[in-house]
Amino acid sequence: MADSLREQVDYCGTTAITHLLDTLSTVQHDKSLRSDGNRAWAVRQSSSQLAESVNDWLSENEPQFLALSQPKVHGHRGGNYHYYAPTRNTAAPVRNLAKGEISVYDALFKRYSSHCGWDWRLLAAQAYEESAFNPYAVSWAGAMGLMQLMPQTARDLGVTADRVYDAESNISGAVRLIRQLNDHYLDVRSSDERINFILAAYNAGPGHVDDARRLAAKRGFRSDVWADVAPIVLRMSQSEYYNDPVVRHGYFRGTETYNYVADIRARWQTYRTKIR
Protein backbone atom coordinates (compact mmCIF):
# COMPACT_ATOMS: atom_id res chain seq x y z
CA MET A 1 0.00 0.00 0.00
CA ALA A 2 2.67 2.52 1.03
CA ASP A 3 4.92 1.89 -2.00
CA SER A 4 1.97 2.09 -4.38
CA LEU A 5 0.79 5.32 -2.82
CA ARG A 6 4.24 6.89 -3.02
CA GLU A 7 4.42 6.05 -6.71
CA GLN A 8 1.06 7.75 -7.27
CA VAL A 9 2.01 10.84 -5.28
CA ASP A 10 5.41 11.11 -6.98
CA TYR A 11 3.61 11.08 -10.30
CA CYS A 12 0.98 13.66 -9.49
CA GLY A 13 3.13 15.96 -7.37
CA THR A 14 4.14 17.93 -10.45
CA THR A 15 0.51 18.75 -11.24
CA ALA A 16 -1.22 18.75 -7.87
CA ILE A 17 -1.67 16.41 -4.98
CA THR A 18 -5.39 17.04 -5.28
CA HIS A 19 -5.41 14.69 -8.30
CA LEU A 20 -4.67 11.84 -5.91
CA LEU A 21 -7.18 13.03 -3.36
CA ASP A 22 -9.90 13.14 -6.00
CA THR A 23 -9.51 9.36 -6.39
CA LEU A 24 -10.29 8.62 -2.76
CA SER A 25 -14.04 8.17 -3.29
CA THR A 26 -16.55 9.44 -0.74
CA VAL A 27 -15.00 11.52 2.03
CA GLN A 28 -16.39 11.78 5.53
CA HIS A 29 -15.52 15.09 7.14
CA ASP A 30 -14.69 14.35 10.73
CA LYS A 31 -11.45 12.90 12.06
CA SER A 32 -10.66 11.55 8.61
CA LEU A 33 -9.53 15.12 7.81
CA ARG A 34 -5.78 15.40 8.35
CA SER A 35 -4.33 18.87 8.64
CA ASP A 36 -1.19 20.50 10.02
CA GLY A 37 -2.70 23.97 9.76
CA ASN A 38 -1.26 24.61 6.29
CA ARG A 39 -2.09 21.51 4.26
CA ALA A 40 -5.12 19.27 4.51
CA TRP A 41 -6.17 16.02 2.93
CA ALA A 42 -8.99 13.60 3.52
CA VAL A 43 -9.51 9.87 3.29
CA ARG A 44 -12.31 7.51 4.25
CA GLN A 45 -12.55 7.12 8.00
CA SER A 46 -11.76 3.41 7.66
CA SER A 47 -8.57 4.06 5.64
CA SER A 48 -6.14 4.74 8.46
CA GLN A 49 -3.29 2.95 6.65
CA LEU A 50 -3.75 5.17 3.60
CA ALA A 51 -3.77 8.28 5.77
CA GLU A 52 -0.57 7.24 7.51
CA SER A 53 1.07 6.54 4.13
CA VAL A 54 0.22 10.05 2.91
CA ASN A 55 1.57 11.51 6.16
CA ASP A 56 4.78 9.50 5.85
CA TRP A 57 5.27 10.50 2.22
CA LEU A 58 4.84 14.20 2.97
CA SER A 59 7.29 14.01 5.89
CA GLU A 60 9.94 12.48 3.61
CA ASN A 61 9.30 14.62 0.51
CA GLU A 62 8.07 17.96 1.82
CA PRO A 63 10.87 20.15 0.36
CA GLN A 64 10.31 18.79 -3.16
CA PHE A 65 6.54 19.05 -2.80
CA LEU A 66 6.69 22.65 -1.61
CA ALA A 67 9.08 23.61 -4.39
CA LEU A 68 6.64 22.22 -6.97
CA SER A 69 3.50 23.64 -5.38
CA GLN A 70 4.62 27.14 -4.38
CA PRO A 71 2.46 29.98 -5.72
CA LYS A 72 3.61 32.33 -8.43
CA VAL A 73 3.86 35.80 -6.97
CA HIS A 74 4.74 39.16 -8.44
CA GLY A 75 6.07 42.54 -7.46
CA HIS A 76 4.33 44.79 -4.95
CA ARG A 77 4.83 48.55 -5.16
CA GLY A 78 8.24 48.22 -6.65
CA GLY A 79 9.33 45.47 -4.28
CA ASN A 80 9.22 41.72 -4.68
CA TYR A 81 7.28 39.02 -2.98
CA HIS A 82 9.55 36.19 -1.99
CA TYR A 83 8.41 32.64 -1.51
CA TYR A 84 9.60 31.77 1.96
CA ALA A 85 9.85 28.32 3.48
CA PRO A 86 11.50 28.53 6.91
CA THR A 87 14.06 25.88 7.67
CA ARG A 88 15.37 24.93 11.08
CA ASN A 89 17.86 27.63 11.92
CA THR A 90 18.61 28.76 15.45
CA ALA A 91 21.09 31.38 14.25
CA ALA A 92 20.62 34.83 15.76
CA PRO A 93 21.81 37.36 13.16
CA VAL A 94 22.82 40.76 14.52
CA ARG A 95 22.98 43.83 12.29
CA ASN A 96 25.47 45.76 14.41
CA LEU A 97 26.72 44.24 17.64
CA ALA A 98 28.69 47.34 18.67
CA LYS A 99 25.54 49.47 18.40
CA GLY A 100 23.29 46.81 19.85
CA GLU A 101 21.22 46.52 16.66
CA ILE A 102 19.49 43.30 15.70
CA SER A 103 17.73 44.56 12.57
CA VAL A 104 16.51 47.69 10.82
CA TYR A 105 13.15 47.12 12.53
CA ASP A 106 14.42 47.37 16.11
CA ALA A 107 12.59 50.65 16.80
CA LEU A 108 9.30 49.01 15.80
CA PHE A 109 9.99 45.92 17.90
CA LYS A 110 10.74 48.15 20.88
CA ARG A 111 7.62 50.26 20.36
CA TYR A 112 5.14 47.45 19.87
CA SER A 113 6.58 44.87 22.26
CA SER A 114 5.45 47.15 25.09
CA HIS A 115 1.87 46.67 23.85
CA CYS A 116 1.98 42.96 24.68
CA GLY A 117 4.42 43.01 27.59
CA TRP A 118 7.19 41.19 25.76
CA ASP A 119 10.92 41.82 25.63
CA TRP A 120 11.54 43.47 22.25
CA ARG A 121 14.31 40.97 21.58
CA LEU A 122 11.78 38.14 21.82
CA LEU A 123 9.62 39.82 19.19
CA ALA A 124 12.71 40.22 17.01
CA ALA A 125 13.58 36.55 17.47
CA GLN A 126 10.08 35.57 16.39
CA ALA A 127 10.17 37.88 13.36
CA TYR A 128 13.39 36.30 12.18
CA GLU A 129 11.84 32.85 12.56
CA GLU A 130 8.82 33.95 10.57
CA SER A 131 10.41 35.84 7.66
CA ALA A 132 14.16 36.30 8.20
CA PHE A 133 13.34 40.03 8.54
CA ASN A 134 11.91 40.17 5.02
CA PRO A 135 8.76 42.39 4.99
CA TYR A 136 7.74 41.06 1.56
CA ALA A 137 7.98 37.38 2.48
CA VAL A 138 5.10 35.15 1.36
CA SER A 139 4.86 31.55 2.48
CA TRP A 140 3.62 28.79 0.20
CA ALA A 141 0.43 28.78 2.30
CA GLY A 142 -0.15 32.50 1.77
CA ALA A 143 1.16 33.94 5.06
CA MET A 144 2.42 37.45 4.45
CA GLY A 145 4.93 39.97 5.67
CA LEU A 146 7.43 40.32 8.45
CA MET A 147 5.35 38.37 10.99
CA GLN A 148 3.69 36.08 8.41
CA LEU A 149 0.03 36.89 8.93
CA MET A 150 -2.46 34.72 7.09
CA PRO A 151 -4.93 36.74 4.96
CA GLN A 152 -8.01 36.12 7.13
CA THR A 153 -6.03 36.63 10.32
CA ALA A 154 -4.68 39.93 9.00
CA ARG A 155 -8.21 41.10 8.18
CA ASP A 156 -9.46 40.06 11.61
CA LEU A 157 -6.63 42.05 13.19
CA GLY A 158 -7.41 45.14 11.14
CA VAL A 159 -4.42 44.88 8.81
CA THR A 160 -5.77 45.73 5.37
CA ALA A 161 -4.47 44.13 2.18
CA ASP A 162 -2.73 47.34 1.12
CA ARG A 163 -0.85 47.53 4.45
CA VAL A 164 0.06 43.91 5.12
CA TYR A 165 3.55 44.34 3.63
CA ASP A 166 4.17 47.49 5.61
CA ALA A 167 6.48 46.44 8.44
CA GLU A 168 4.83 48.57 11.12
CA SER A 169 1.31 47.47 10.22
CA ASN A 170 2.36 43.82 10.11
CA ILE A 171 4.13 44.00 13.47
CA SER A 172 1.26 45.86 15.13
CA GLY A 173 -1.19 43.24 13.84
CA ALA A 174 1.01 40.42 15.12
CA VAL A 175 1.22 42.07 18.53
CA ARG A 176 -2.58 42.30 18.67
CA LEU A 177 -2.68 38.57 17.99
CA ILE A 178 -0.09 37.95 20.72
CA ARG A 179 -2.26 39.94 23.15
CA GLN A 180 -5.30 37.83 22.23
CA LEU A 181 -3.33 34.64 22.77
CA ASN A 182 -2.01 35.98 26.07
CA ASP A 183 -5.60 36.44 27.24
CA HIS A 184 -6.44 32.95 26.00
CA TYR A 185 -3.69 31.45 28.16
CA LEU A 186 -4.16 33.47 31.33
CA ASP A 187 -4.68 30.20 33.19
CA VAL A 188 -0.95 29.58 32.63
CA ARG A 189 0.13 31.65 35.61
CA SER A 190 3.84 31.79 34.89
CA SER A 191 4.42 34.58 32.37
CA ASP A 192 7.53 32.82 31.07
CA GLU A 193 5.64 29.54 30.59
CA ARG A 194 2.83 31.46 28.91
CA ILE A 195 5.26 32.67 26.23
CA ASN A 196 5.76 29.07 25.14
CA PHE A 197 2.05 28.48 24.69
CA ILE A 198 1.56 31.79 22.88
CA LEU A 199 4.36 30.96 20.44
CA ALA A 200 2.98 27.47 19.88
CA ALA A 201 -0.52 28.82 19.24
CA TYR A 202 0.81 31.54 16.94
CA ASN A 203 2.34 28.78 14.85
CA ALA A 204 -0.28 26.02 15.02
CA GLY A 205 -3.42 27.76 16.22
CA PRO A 206 -4.79 27.63 19.77
CA GLY A 207 -7.11 24.74 18.93
CA HIS A 208 -4.27 22.29 18.36
CA VAL A 209 -2.35 23.54 21.39
CA ASP A 210 -5.45 23.22 23.56
CA ASP A 211 -5.90 19.66 22.30
CA ALA A 212 -2.36 18.85 23.41
CA ARG A 213 -3.00 20.43 26.80
CA ARG A 214 -6.13 18.34 27.32
CA LEU A 215 -4.24 15.20 26.36
CA ALA A 216 -1.44 16.09 28.76
CA ALA A 217 -3.90 16.55 31.62
CA LYS A 218 -5.67 13.30 30.75
CA ARG A 219 -2.35 11.45 30.91
CA GLY A 220 -1.44 12.92 34.28
CA PHE A 221 0.91 15.69 33.15
CA ARG A 222 0.80 19.40 33.95
CA SER A 223 -1.13 21.22 31.24
CA ASP A 224 0.36 24.61 32.14
CA VAL A 225 4.02 23.57 31.84
CA TRP A 226 5.47 23.44 28.32
CA ALA A 227 7.99 20.74 29.22
CA ASP A 228 5.03 18.45 29.99
CA VAL A 229 2.88 19.47 27.02
CA ALA A 230 5.65 19.59 24.38
CA PRO A 231 6.11 15.78 24.23
CA ILE A 232 2.38 15.48 23.52
CA VAL A 233 2.68 18.12 20.78
CA LEU A 234 5.40 16.03 19.16
CA ARG A 235 3.03 13.05 18.98
CA MET A 236 -0.04 14.82 17.60
CA SER A 237 0.55 13.28 14.17
CA GLN A 238 0.07 9.80 15.62
CA SER A 239 -3.40 8.29 15.36
CA GLU A 240 -3.36 7.19 19.01
CA TYR A 241 -3.17 10.86 19.94
CA TYR A 242 -5.27 12.72 17.36
CA ASN A 243 -8.06 10.15 17.59
CA ASP A 244 -8.37 10.52 21.35
CA PRO A 245 -11.87 11.71 22.34
CA VAL A 246 -10.51 14.87 24.02
CA VAL A 247 -8.95 16.01 20.73
CA ARG A 248 -11.30 18.38 18.90
CA HIS A 249 -9.13 19.61 16.03
CA GLY A 250 -7.59 16.39 14.73
CA TYR A 251 -4.19 15.71 13.28
CA PHE A 252 -1.40 18.22 13.17
CA ARG A 253 2.32 17.92 12.58
CA GLY A 254 3.58 18.95 15.98
CA THR A 255 7.29 18.69 15.19
CA GLU A 256 7.09 22.03 13.37
CA THR A 257 5.46 23.72 16.35
CA TYR A 258 7.85 22.11 18.83
CA ASN A 259 10.85 23.31 16.84
CA TYR A 260 9.30 26.75 16.33
CA VAL A 261 9.09 27.33 20.07
CA ALA A 262 12.54 25.87 20.76
CA ASP A 263 14.27 27.86 18.01
CA ILE A 264 12.73 31.19 19.01
CA ARG A 265 13.57 30.62 22.67
CA ALA A 266 17.18 29.77 21.78
CA ARG A 267 17.51 32.83 19.54
CA TRP A 268 15.95 35.07 22.19
CA GLN A 269 18.46 33.81 24.76
CA THR A 270 21.30 34.66 22.38
CA TYR A 271 19.91 38.14 21.80
CA ARG A 272 19.57 38.72 25.54
CA THR A 273 23.21 37.75 25.97
CA LYS A 274 24.53 39.89 23.11
CA ILE A 275 22.17 42.87 22.97
CA ARG A 276 21.49 45.10 25.95
Degrees to nearest 5, angle at CA 135 with 253 and 265: 45
Phi, psi of 175 (to 5 degrees): -65, -35
C-beta separation of 73 from 83 below 8 A: yes
Which amino acid type is present at position 145? G
Q: How far apart are CA 171 and CA 36, in angstroms?
A: 24
Catalytic residue check, 60: no
Q: How far apart are CA 119 and CA 106, in angstroms?
A: 12
Check 130, 193, 240, 256 and give the catalytic one: 130
Phi, psi of 33 (to 5 degrees): -85, 120
What DSSP character marks residue 96?
B
How many angstroms separate the Cα of 12 from the Cα of each of 19, 21, 70? 7, 10, 15
C-beta separation of 191 from 198 below 8 A: no
Partners of 96 in the β-ladder: 101
Find the Cα–Cα–Cα–Cα dihedral 218, 219, 225, 230, rounded to 10°.
-110
What DSSP character marks residue 65?
H
Positions marked catalytic: 130
